[in-house]
Structure formats: C-alpha cells, structure tokens
Amino acid sequence: MDYIDLRSDTVTKPTEEMRKAMYNADVGDDVYGDDPTVNRLERMIADILEKEDAIFVPSGTFANQLALFTHCERGNEVILGDDTHIVQHEAGAASVIAGVQLRTIETDKGVLPPEKVLERIRKVEDIHFPKTGLICLENAHSNGRAIPLENFEKIRKIADDYNIPIHLDGARIFNASIALGVEPKEIAKYADSVSVCLSKGLCAPIGSLLVGSKEFIQDARKKRKIMGGGLRQAGIIAAAGIVALEKMRSRLVEDHENAKYLAKRLEEFGYINIVEQVDINMVFFRINKKFDENKFLDYLYKNGIKINPSEDGIFRFVTHYWIKRKDIDRVIELMKEFFEALE
Ligand SMILES: *Cc1c(COP(=O)(O)O)cnc(C)c1O
C-alpha cells in the first residue's frame, strides 16, 4: 500500500533519477579522497553557499555534531536557542562527542534575542568560567519558520566583537531561502560553518554536508574519522545528493504552497487552529475538540495515512515531494469523516 505519509520530509524515498544516478555512479575510496562523485558533491555545495570547502557526512545530526567537535575544545560553552534541533533532538550528543556545555536561551518563536546572546558571552578570563566556543543558529527553524536575516546580522556583529564563530544548522536552508526570497548564500554568509540535509525535502536517501573554510574542513576530516564517518565508496550515495542539489531545490516551493493549502483546509473545521506561521513545508495545529487520539491515528492509518502523535497537544503535518494536492484533499475528507462521526 502506498501511504500518504505526513510524518516528516525525511520519509521521502529517492526518485527514479536518483536511483539511476546511484547505479551509474563513478566511485573511489573517499577516505583517500579518491571518490570523484563525493568530491563533485562537496564542490557543488561549497559553490552554492560560497564557502571554501565541504565534507560529506551520513546525517544532519552528524554534520552538526562534527561542527561542534571541530569548532570547540572540551569544556567550551555553546550558546544557542533552547528549541533548536541540537538541544532537543540530538540525544545529548554535544556532551558525549564534543564534550561541550550547551548554554541555552529562550527564543521568540525560534528567533534568538541578540541582547541575550551578548549577555551569555563569557567576556573575561576567570578560572571559574568556561570559554564561549561557538554560537549556533538554525534556519529554517524546526518550528517551521524562516528566521529573518536582520536577526542573523545582529548576532554576527556580536560574535565578531568577541571573536566567536557561528555555526548554522541549515538542515532546511533551501526551504528558508525560498521562504525569505534570498539566495542560500545570503543566509550562509552570516555563519562560519553550515550543515545541510540532502535527505529531507530534497529526497536523497542518505547524507548531509558540512560547509566552511578550507582549514575548518581539513580539521573536520580528521574529526569525522574519529566519529567513524570516513566512508569508502560513498559516491554511491553522493550521486543521489548531486541530483538533490541540481534538480530538487527549486521545486520545494510546491511543498510550501501545499502546506499553505493544507493549513487553509484545516481552518475549514472551525475547531482547528494553526499555531505557527506557515513559512515552509510544515503545518502545526491544535484540535480544540474532545476526541480519542489513538482512535484518530488508527482511523487515518487504516485509510492509508500516516501521521505522528501530537506533542503537547500539537500536531505537525509535513508536505514533501510525494504529497500531492489530491492527497491533502483525501486527508481532509477523512478527518471530516472522523470528527463528524463523533457528533
Ligand atoms: C532533521 C534536522 C537535523 C538532522 O537530522 P538527521 O535526522 O540527523 O539527518 C538537524 N537540524 C534540523 C533543524 C533538522 O530539522
């Protein structure tokens, strides 16, 4: 059965073109730097984001943790939003791998208040103080918002004043670029390093990239080896990543339009309210009605629709390449059936 899968944009299976590219990929041993397909992919993302170099890694979590591990010394402090992926969804990796302390700040719907960042920076040497090693930003934010660049500009200025590098978690940087109406490099320019996911809306089966200066990426290659991420004929998967960057970026706009359409249709219910601005391919909403959530999930599942359970009463539906308008209409129709049967 072909499910309508709204759980995430990570459920996207590779396209036919990706499967062919993978089959035909020219490969070598990437630990020796010999894989032409990996090298091409790394060059491609570095050029798109106007950075000197890039490194291919297995996942977005890997890319972020490699960035922390490369920028920081053990015992450093990293300043970032308390609602970021690095804090919320990376299983505490920062304390295990880089051995850093995360200094979190409450954000305003994903926007990190610059004055709070300034406040948290360790400004003097004192044997009691950890050193501020890094500031992390996220765009698009995992709450579905594209963060305005005026905010990044202010934080960059503060970081420069204290000589602190910035890492941008750009897992969905291409979604942010479309939502903000700017080139991806215009977002990347505020950061020293950027992580990018190929396996979300871009449909590649596996893979992320970390981008930065030549020297930073050189250090990261050794750290990646420590983390067990030195892959051999990785061109097999990088080949799909090349198709992702070449062919799948511009169509993300369709996912954004479908998410807006989905939000509009959900509002028809009257008792459903959308709780976050719909900037990219995610719709967050609350159902203000008494119902049995397990029965709801079950009902949809039996009818070929997969969704995640709510988190603190909030549902998240994600649109992507394999979700078409008619699928959204089908979901709305079934939800109406379910809720009308309750009355
Ligand atoms: C998905 C995601 C990641 C990394 O995800 P992996 O599942 O490890 O590939 C990192 N940051 C953000 C904001 C994400 O949405």
Report which DSSP code applies to 171: T
If you measure from the C-alpha of residue 261 to the centroid of ligand 1, how many angstroms do you get, rounded to a whole number? Answer: 25
If you measure from the C-alpha of residue 197 to the centroid of ligand 1, how many angstroms do you get, rounded to a whole number? Answer: 7
Q: Report the pLDDT value the prediction gives residue 234, as an integer from 0 to 100.
A: 98
For the Cβ of 176 lying below 6 angstroms from any atom of ligand 1, the answer is no
If you measure from the C-alpha of residue 68 to the centroid of ligand 1, how many angstroms do you get, rounded to a whole number? Answer: 15
| CA angle at 57 for the pair 100 and 93, rounded to the nearest 5° | 25
Mean pLDDT for all residues in the chain = 97
CA distance 205 to 81: 29
Q: Report the pLDDT value the prediction gives residue 343, as an integer from 0 to 100.
A: 78
For the Cβ of 61 lying below 6 angstroms from any atom of ligand 1, the answer is yes
Report which DSSP code applies to 319: -
Q: Report the pLDDT value the prediction gives residue 33, as an integer from 0 to 100.
A: 96
Q: State the pairing for strand pair 193-197/166-169.
A: parallel
Can you tell me the mean pLDDT for 120-135? 97
> What is the pTM assigned to this prediction?
0.97
How do residues 217-271 score in pLDDT, each as one tens digit?
Answer: 999 999 999 999 999 999 999 999 999 999 999 999 999 999 999 999 999 999 9
Element (H, E) at 260: helix 252-267
All domains in the chain, ordered by first residue? 12-247 (3.40.640.10), 251-342 (3.90.1150.10)
How do residues 293-319 score in pLDDT, each as one tens digit?
Answer: 999 999 999 999 999 999 999 999 999
How do residues 179-231 score in pLDDT, each as one tens digit?
Answer: 999 999 999 999 999 999 999 999 999 999 999 999 999 999 999 999 999 99
Picking from 307, 305, 306, the residue whose alpha carbon sits closest to that of residue 287 is: 307
Q: Report the pLDDT value the prediction gives residue 297, as an integer from 0 to 100.
A: 98
Picking from 315, 239, 235, 216, the residue whose alpha carbon sits closest to that of residue 274 is: 315
